[in-house]
Homo-oligomer: A and B are copies of this chain.
Amino acid sequence: MALKLFSSVHDIQDINALTASALALKQNPYGFQHLGKNKTIALVFLNPSLRTRMSTQKAALNLGMNVMVLNMDKEGWALEFQDNVIMNGSSVEHIREAAAVLGQYADIIGVRSFPGLKDRNEDYSETIFNKFVQYCGVPVVSLESATRHPLQSLADLVTIQELKTVAKPKVVLTWAPHVKPLPQAVPNSFAEWMCKADVDFTIAHPKGFELCEDFTKGASITNNQDEALANADFIYVKNWSAYEPYGKVLPGNEGWMLTHKKLEITNQAKVMHCLPVRRDLELSAEILDSSSSIVTHQAANRVWAAQAVLKMMLEG
């Protein structure tokens, strides 16, 4: 049966088969252009995007699809997401109409919508993304929602599968410093994918940066970064803001930035990051510029991850 929704790992029955499909597409990018002929994907952005924007376009083009990009916030109309409001303020169009209409023009819709980081319940209820899904009537791919970034996570898993040198590698997600409050979507999503993958998965973060437990069941969690890094095969570096108090940058913890020195206790670990990355704040330039870094390789795999998902949606 064709895939109707790609919003989290829970939408995928067999993540190993999907990963294998992505790696097969990497070897044969143009073999399925009949699937996308006369099919259109609309990529709807409510926030900035570089990798997701370009890699998903590329994936769709590889499959022979037409692509229409809509920067909703700049090119369309200000959206209203609340029900039962008299729309006499600044919002011009309700998501009920906007999504329903977009669903008339596209066979698949991709949606990016970041969290506000003000109201945890609102963000974690995924109101915006879910209303797109609810009202558009066509398959939807998350291009990063308030609490998850599944195309990123799939590309991460593809990268680990592709580059691992042991059957069950040790994968460590380690918190990194930042000056601004960032969403929890990438670490949440990475965690829930890793918890279902054939890896030994550890999360390391300073006290106060606990992730929501819904995403980390099965992971080893520690506040000791050194302990986590010991014998690691892959290190995923990422900042996130606090879950409690929600969306806050807590002071201190600058020492958590990964350096070459810290890599010494790993198993010649490969260093990952979803990008964009702030050099010498989140991650040291010395690592980014070294052969330990696989961040570009990881970003390149975004194409094959997206293409595998779109292929599943077009099939069936």
Contacts and interface: CB of A to CB of B under 8 A. Distances in A.
Contact of A58 (B40, B58, B61, B280): B40
A236 to B, nearest CB: 16
Copy tally for this chain in the complex stands at 3
A281 to B, nearest CB: 5
A109 to B, nearest CB: 11
Given A70-B54, A276-B98, A61 B40 contact: yes
A202 to B, nearest CB: 25
Given A71-B75, A275-B97, A54 B88 contact: no
Contacts of A57: 68
B281 A88 contact: yes
A200 to B, nearest CB: 28
A165 interface: no
Interface stretch (A42-50, A145-153, A224-232): A42-50
Interface in A228-243: none
B50 A289 contact: no
A96 interface: yes
Nearest to A82: B279
Judged by DSSP, the binding face of A is mixed
A288 interface: yes
Contact of A296 (B50, B101, B295): B101
Most chain B beta-carbon contacts within 10 A, residue among A72, A86, A279: A279
Given A54-B106, A58-B68, A87-B279, 15 more contacts: A29-B38, A50-B76, A50-B102, A57-B68, A58-B105, A71-B74, A71-B75, A74-B74, A80-B279, A87-B278, A92-B278, A93-B276, A97-B277, A97-B299, A104-B303
25 contacts: A29-B38, A48-B76, A48-B77, A49-B75, A49-B76, A50-B75, A50-B76, A53-B75, A53-B76, A54-B68, A54-B105, A54-B106, A58-B66, A86-B281, A87-B279, A88-B179, A92-B276, A93-B277, A94-B277, A94-B279, A96-B279, A100-B296, A101-B275, A101-B299, A104-B296
